[in-house]
Amino acid sequence: MWGGQYSVPPADIMAEINASLGFDKALYAQDIAGSIAHAAMLGECGILTKEDSDGICKGLREILREMESGAFPWKPELEDIHMNIEARLTELIGEAAGRLHTARSRNDQVALDLRLYVRDAIGAIDAALLGLQHALLVRAEEHAATLMPGFTHLQPAQPVTLGHHLLAYVEMAGRDRARFADCWARLNESPLGAAALAGTSFPIDRHRTAELLGFERPMANSLDAVGSRDFALEFLADVAICATHLSRLGEEFVLWSGPLGFIRFSDGFSTGSSIMPQKRNPDAAELVRAKAARTAGNLVQLLGVIKALPLAYNKDMQEDKEPVFDSAQTLLLALRASSGMVADFTANIDAMQAAAGAAYSTATDLADWLVRVLNLPFRHAHHVTARIVKLASDKKIPLEKLSLSEMQSVEPCITQDAFSVLSPQASAASRTSFGGTAPENVRAQIAAWKEKLA
């Protein structure tokens, strides 16, 4: 493979640690697309004859068909996807295959393949994120006014609506999509033609291959083109952040379908136990929760691989692929599972509403009433309310069951009007500040999102 200076083959362990075919075959479509563009350009520039160029492209398309139909004769001993394709091309078209690697190196070739893969992965992820947004919007609209407790510290804090809560994830998914879009735009430069690391003396046209492959431009520095992997790091970071968002939704689904009793998953999204016949486990939610850690691990791996690597190419960079592949596939799986769960759950509206009004969740409304009506400074109003809460709490009754005179024992100026703010409905409806949970706000945000996504 490496020509005349080598007289013995690699040691077994060397071949074993070096082989990448087991994972880099995932790049077959990208590798062929890149080679076709390269060959076409070589032909256009007169570096190859039209006949050779056409023959190579035709052979490569045949190989693509073979791979997609399962007919391709993989040869593990050829170690990687590039050599498998080149060797097969030689079988198919003969000596001209040997001209494909003109003005190219494995270094720019593999950098190209991985960029193309990440670009494709971002396309699929964006579609899956959009699907999740749609699924969330459908349920948010259905539950724009369904009360539930808003939590801080996993304790009821103030009433919100389920629609409002779900919209928070629409926002997160929106930023996730924007992050991936930025990553896409930044990586959308072609490394092809950087050759080994220094460019080439052949009169190639890198702008042409960039155009053929849908890149915005060729990369401007050949060392950077073959030696940089920040595009992969950025992708892995974007995946990890997005997966972290999903892990929060997963946690909430575990809590809601479990101790809080807010939702129930259908049989299709529940699993039983090998020993406990009564179980309805939210396995998908738990796995979505766990997968965030997996994507963080992948990011840590590649950050560790690239750290302190001198320019330009080092074999360490072969370890860039598996974390990228795994993070892409993991995120797609987690996104689809999340969308599935969002569409699947049945809300236990009564339980949510009851919880929304429990645990003194409208105490802030009382404090705000004291500020608004009695003009108490907020700090003072907060203190007064805390004492009223204690009064009710010691009696184990909700705020609205206190008598007016009991309230007045803490703050004499309180009037009957104060009771009007104590229901969770009133509380939620009053929060009309921009971004607040009032159902009218929620509906307006849903409309705005629908328009944006249309």
Annotated catalytic residues are 153, 273
Q: Is 91 in the site for its own copies (CB under 8 A)?
A: no
Shortest Cβ 62–its own copies spacing (Å): 19
Q: Which of 22, 76, 123, 314 binds its own copies (CB under 8 A)?
A: 314
Q: Is 251 in the site for its own copies (CB under 8 A)?
A: yes
The total number of residues shown for the chain amounts to 454
Q: Is 202 in the site for its own copies (CB under 8 A)?
A: yes
Cα–Cα distance, 111 to 109 (Å, whole number): 5
Q: Is 431 in the site for its own copies (CB under 8 A)?
A: yes
Residues in contact with its own copies, counted by CB under 8 A, come to a total of: 196
Cα–Cα distance, 358 to 156 (Å, whole number): 8
Residue closer to its own copies, measured from CB, 71 or 245: 245
The residue to which tokens 């738990």 are assigned: 286
Q: Which of 74, 340, 354, 425 binds its own copies (CB under 8 A)?
A: 340
Residue closer to its own copies, measured from CB, 1 or 71: 1
Task: Give me the phi and psi of 160, to 5 degrees please.
Answer: -135, -175
Shortest Cβ 172–its own copies spacing (Å): 6
Token pair recorded at residue 426: 């009133």
Q: Is 22 in the site for its own copies (CB under 8 A)?
A: no
Shortest Cβ 88–its own copies spacing (Å): 14
Cα–Cα distance, 17 to 44 (Å, whole number): 39
Dihedral class, residue 375 (left if φ above 0, else alpha if ψ from -120 to 50, else beta): left
Shortest Cβ 120–its own copies spacing (Å): 20
Q: Return the sign of the alpha-carbon dihedral for residues 279, 280, 285, 288.
A: positive
Q: Is 56 in the site for its own copies (CB under 8 A)?
A: no
Token pair recorded at residue 120: 């494709």
Beta strands in 131-252 (DSSP E): 147-152, 155-161, 189-190, 217-218
Q: Is 155 in the site for its own copies (CB under 8 A)?
A: yes
The residue to which tokens 């050829």 are assigned: 78
Task: Give me the phi and psi of 263, to 5 degrees please.
Answer: -140, 165
Among the listed ranges 26-34, 62-70, 257-265, 401-409, the one in contact with its own copies (CB under 8 A) is: 257-265
Site string for its own copies, 387-406 (x = CB under 8 A): xxxx--x-------------
Residue closer to its own copies, measured from CB, 71 or 127: 127
Q: Which of 13, 69, 73, 405 binds its own copies (CB under 8 A)?
A: 13
- CA-based nearest residue to 129, from 335, 438, 405, 401: 335
Q: Which of 306, 352, 414, 446 binds its own copies (CB under 8 A)?
A: 306
Cα–Cα distance, 176 to 171 (Å, whole number): 9
Shortest Cβ 355–its own copies spacing (Å): 9
Q: Is 430 in the site for its own copies (CB under 8 A)?
A: yes
Question: Which residues contact residue 146 at a Cβ distance below 8 angstroms, ignoring those fewer than 6 apart?
Answer: 161, 162, 163, 347, 349, 352, 353
Q: Which of 101, 134, 264, 443 binds its own copies (CB under 8 A)?
A: 101
Q: Which of 274, 403, 405, 416 binds its own copies (CB under 8 A)?
A: 274
Residue closer to its own copies, measured from CB, 29 or 255: 255
Residue closer to its own copies, measured from CB, 33 or 100: 100
- CA-based nearest residue to 374, from 417, 333, 434, 328: 417
Among the listed ranges 21-29, 64-72, 224-232, 346-354, the one in contact with its own copies (CB under 8 A) is: 224-232
Cα–Cα distance, 232 to 116 (Å, whole number): 11
Dihedral class, residue 396 (left if φ above 0, else alpha if ψ from -120 to 50, else beta): left
Q: Which of 40, 112, 125, 284 binds its own copies (CB under 8 A)?
A: 284
Residue closer to its own copies, measured from CB, 65 or 257: 257
Shortest Cβ 22–its own copies spacing (Å): 12
Site string for its own copies, 173-192 (x = CB under 8 A): --xx-xx--x---x------
Q: Are 217 and 115 in contact (CB under 8 A)?
A: no
Element (H, E) at 347: strand 346-347
Residue 148 β-bridge partners: 160
Shortest Cβ 392–its own copies spacing (Å): 9
Residue closer to its own copies, measured from CB, 309 or 397: 309
**Through-space distance between the first and last CA atoms of the chain, rounded to whole angstroms:** 53
